[in-house]
């Protein structure tokens, strides 16, 4: 019987790792980071000569659209607390800090006629402080806070945005490119265009489905490409940095894996969500995915439009956009189950609309995956594996950097659910790497609790808790901060590392506002241990069968 024991044992070890050293390691030069964005953490909404952004405008004119009627006028006050922010990145042993620049802080009206010295100085100081501690700044040029004056011209739906964005990008590349070597142009085009113009979910909250989001996407892709060309021609050689874009997508799985129709629906989800922006940049031939072009053209015709609601690129534009990224930045959080939206529009989508064009019904109905502090976010680690592999195969193995991944809760320092999420998602990323996918880095969303857009301060993504009632916006590490430090230090996941609150955290916990304590999650079963129990059961039953 012993003869059979060792082969089975080795198979199990191969699947789950060595029980003695549970750490699974990432490639040597893997980049570990944490992220934030300007509007969500800075505050100082009208400090010095900062201009109004579309988010300032939205929260001030329509507070009722925000879950807790709040705004980010002060939020985590990083406009003043930036030194502490850098200290936190250092405490985490993360090598990279991803943050964004606020366009209206730098150019209050959106144009070059007024550049704010205070705005430039703020980011310059932050970058210098990061470099002092050997932390790589990764800068997002645009993360949703458009100058309101440009919105009054139609924002991203007006082609005027292209030269305006290029001027803004030129200025920041000139000002910071000597020290910043990692850039992304734009964060999450889908959210900017569909959630901002098609739906009522993000500023400017147009709620005008089916038309402006495609105009926005078209201009956005051109603006992105112009900036990358400019960087490559005028800056890259001299400054030696790299530039990409950050795209977002959830994963899509067929609701019924045995149904060819559901499998097609999931594939359509990928083509519409990822392909809309990725195909023009990363595919071999450029342009929007064929299925996206065809469906929107045909539906537009049926609906009585004389042209497709999806604008067409010229050959020259297709060529100019293709290849404009040194890496693929990916933000992802969850997965949806997809099925086809029947001809009679069973999903009840507005006609026309992006969702109706895509023609799939996608949701979490009936799944028992761990939930979070956000209704839209359920944990399904295999989803990130499938998504990364889909991108790898679709676009010829680009370098993928996970620029955002993380989970929300409703508060508290004992965030074991976040620990489980990070460990299991990272484990799935590692599976993809071991399959030969080029994933070069992973950036947790988020460094600290911050303003979660329309959810206000209700949903917390931070590794650090922020006391939004204290004048200095005190930051305290959660359990997940200590686990992530361990991950960064060891370049790997260790399932058995589950620290309990230390003295500093216990003191901080005693001072937390009541609403923060309400959301505390109890310690969950250790998933690593669970894997081992499962494997041992398997081993014992196999041995039994062999000895019978």
Tokens of 157: 């739906």
User: H helices of 2-116, where?
Assistant: 2-16, 38-41, 54-61, 78-92, 103-106
Restricted to residues 458-477, the positions that interact with ligand NOJ (CB under 6 A) are 461
Residue 133: strand, helix, or coil: coil
Can you tell me the distance from the alpha carbon of 420 to that of 424, in angstroms, rounded to the nearest whole number? 6
Residue 258: strand, helix, or coil: coil
φ/ψ of residue 303, rounded to 5: -85, 0
Q: Which is nearer to ligand NOJ, 269 or 462 (CB)?
A: 462
Q: Which is nearer to ligand NOJ, 77 or 404 (CB)?
A: 404
Can you tell me the distance from the alpha carbon of 72 to that of 55, in angstroms, rounded to the nearest whole number? 8
User: H helices of 501-526, where?
Assistant: 503-510, 514-518
Q: Least separation, in Å, of the C-beta of 372 and ligand NOJ?
A: 10
Asked whether position 129 contacts ligand NOJ by CB under 6 A, the answer is no
Distances (CA, A) of 217 to 117, 198, 285: 31, 11, 18
Tally the residues of the chain.
Answer: 548
Which residue in 119, 87, 118 sits closest to 106, CA to CA? 119
Phi-psi region of 33 (alpha: psi -120 to 50; beta: other; left: phi over 0): beta
Cβ partners under 8 Å of residue 81, min gap 6 = 472, 473, 475
Strand spans (E) along 143-280: 182-187, 242-248, 251-254
Q: Which is nearer to ligand NOJ, 341 or 480 (CB)?
A: 480
| Residue from 45, 270, 445, 532 in contact with ligand NOJ (CB under 6 A) | 445
Q: Which is nearer to ligand NOJ, 58 or 211 (CB)?
A: 58
User: What is the distance in angstroms between the CA of the first residue and the CA of the last residue of the chain?
Assistant: 10
Task: Please name the residue that has the structure tokens 């050293």.
Answer: 21
Q: Least separation, in Å, of the C-beta of 463 and ligand NOJ?
A: 13
Asked whether position 331 contacts ligand NOJ by CB under 6 A, the answer is yes
Give me the 187-216 binding string for ligand NOJ, x by CB under 6 A, dash otherwise: xx----------------------------
Q: Three-state SS string across 358-404, please? A: HCEEEECCCCCCCCCCCCCCCCCCHHHHHHHHHHHHHCCCCCEEEEE
Tokens of 469: 């009632």
Task: Please name the residue that has the structure tokens 């604008």.
Answer: 311
Distances (CA, A) of 240 to 173, 234, 505, 541: 12, 11, 42, 58
Asked whether position 148 contacts ligand NOJ by CB under 6 A, the answer is no
Asked whether position 424 contacts ligand NOJ by CB under 6 A, the answer is no
Q: Least separation, in Å, of the C-beta of 35 and ligand NOJ?
A: 8
Q: Which is nearer to ligand NOJ, 77 or 145 (CB)?
A: 145
Can you tell me the distance from the alpha carbon of 310 to that of 477, in angstroms, rounded to the nearest whole number? 46
Q: Which is nearer to ligand NOJ, 404 or 415 (CB)?
A: 404
| Residue from 452, 476, 498, 535 in contact with ligand NOJ (CB under 6 A) | 452
Q: Which is nearer to ligand NOJ, 236 or 450 (CB)?
A: 450
CA neighbours closer than 13 Å in the CB half-sphere of residue 233: 7
Asked whether position 404 contacts ligand NOJ by CB under 6 A, the answer is yes
Site size toward ligand NOJ (CB under 6 A) is 9
Q: Least separation, in Å, of the C-beta of 461 and ligand NOJ?
A: 6
Task: Please name the residue that has the structure tokens 């049926």.
Answer: 302
Restricted to residues 33-52, the positions that interact with ligand NOJ (CB under 6 A) are 37, 40
Active site residues: 188, 404
Q: Which is nearer to ligand NOJ, 419 or 447 (CB)?
A: 447
Q: Least separation, in Å, of the C-beta of 306 and ligand NOJ?
A: 36
Q: Least separation, in Å, of the C-beta of 171 and ligand NOJ?
A: 23
Q: Least separation, in Å, of the C-beta of 104 and ligand NOJ?
A: 17
Q: Least separation, in Å, of the C-beta of 250 and ligand NOJ?
A: 11
| Residues in touch with ligand NOJ (CB under 6 A) | 37, 40, 187-188, 331, 404, 445, 452, 461
């Amino acid at each position: 019987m012993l003869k059979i024991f060792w082969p089975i044992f080795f198979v199990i070890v191969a699947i789950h790792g060595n029980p003695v050293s549970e750490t699974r390691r990432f490639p040597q030069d893997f980049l570990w980071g944490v992220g934030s964005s300007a509007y969500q953490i800075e505050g100082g909404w009208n400090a010095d000569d900062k201009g109004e952004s579309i988010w300032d405008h939205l929260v001030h004119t329509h507070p009722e659209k925000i879950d807790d009627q709040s705004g980010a006028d002060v939020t985590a006050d990083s406009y003043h607390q930036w030194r502490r922010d850098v200290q936190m990145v250092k405490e985490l042993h993360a090598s990279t800090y991803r943050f964004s620049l606020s366009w209206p802080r730098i150019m209050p009206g959106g144009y070059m006629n007024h550049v704010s010295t205070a705005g430039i100085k703020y980011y310059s100081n932050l970058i210098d402080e990061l470099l002092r501690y050997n932390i790589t700044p990764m800068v997002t040029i645009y993360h949703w806070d458009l100058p309101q004056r440009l919105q009054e011209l139609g924002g991203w739906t007006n082609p005027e945005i292209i030269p305006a964005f290029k001027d803004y990008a030129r200025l920041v590349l000139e000002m910071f490119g000597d020290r910043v070597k990692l850039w992304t142009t734009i964060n999450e085009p889908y959210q900017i265009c569909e959630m901002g113009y098609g739906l009522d979910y993000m500023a400017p909250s147009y709620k005008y489905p089916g038309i402006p989001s495609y105009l926005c996407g078209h201009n956005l892709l051109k603006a992105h490409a112009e900036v990358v060309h400019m960087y490559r021609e005028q800056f890259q050689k001299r400054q030696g940095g790299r530039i990409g874009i950050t795209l977002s997508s959830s994963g899509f799985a067929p609701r019924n894996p045995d149904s060819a129709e559901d499998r097609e629906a999931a594939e359509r989800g990928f083509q519409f969500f990822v392909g809309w922006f990725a195909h023009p940049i990363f595919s071999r031939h450029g342009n929007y995915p064929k299925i996206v072009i065809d469906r929107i053209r045909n539906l537009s015709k049926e609906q009585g439009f004389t042209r497709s609601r999806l604008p067409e690129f010229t050959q020259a534009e297709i060529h100019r956009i293709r290849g404009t990224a040194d890496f693929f930045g990916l933000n992802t959080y969850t997965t949806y189950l997809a099925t086809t939206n029947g001809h009679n529009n069973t999903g009840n989508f507005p006609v026309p609309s992006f969702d109706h064009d895509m023609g799939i019904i996608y949701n979490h109905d009936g799944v028992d995956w761990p939930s979070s502090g956000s209704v839209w976010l359920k944990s399904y680690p295999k989803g990130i594996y499938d998504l990364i592999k889909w991108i790898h195969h679709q676009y010829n193995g680009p370098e993928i950097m996970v620029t955002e991944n993380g989970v929300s809760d409703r508060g508290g320092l004992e965030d074991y659910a976040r620990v489980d999420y990070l460990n299991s998602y990272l484990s799935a990323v590692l599976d993809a790497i071991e399959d030969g996918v080029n994933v070069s880095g992973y950036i947790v969303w988020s460094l600290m609790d911050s303003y979660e857009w329309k959810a206000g301060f209700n949903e917390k993504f931070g590794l650090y808790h922020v006391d939004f009632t204290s004048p200095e916006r005190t930051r305290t590490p959660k359990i997940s901060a200590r686990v992530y430090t361990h991950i960064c230090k060891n370049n790997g996941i260790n399932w058995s590392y589950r620290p309990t609150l230390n003295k500093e955290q216990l003191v901080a916990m005693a001072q937390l506002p009541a609403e923060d304590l309400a959301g505390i999650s109890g310690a969950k079963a250790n998933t690593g241990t669970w894997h081992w129990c499962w494997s041992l059961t398997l081993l014992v039953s196999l041995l039994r069968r062999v000895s019978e």
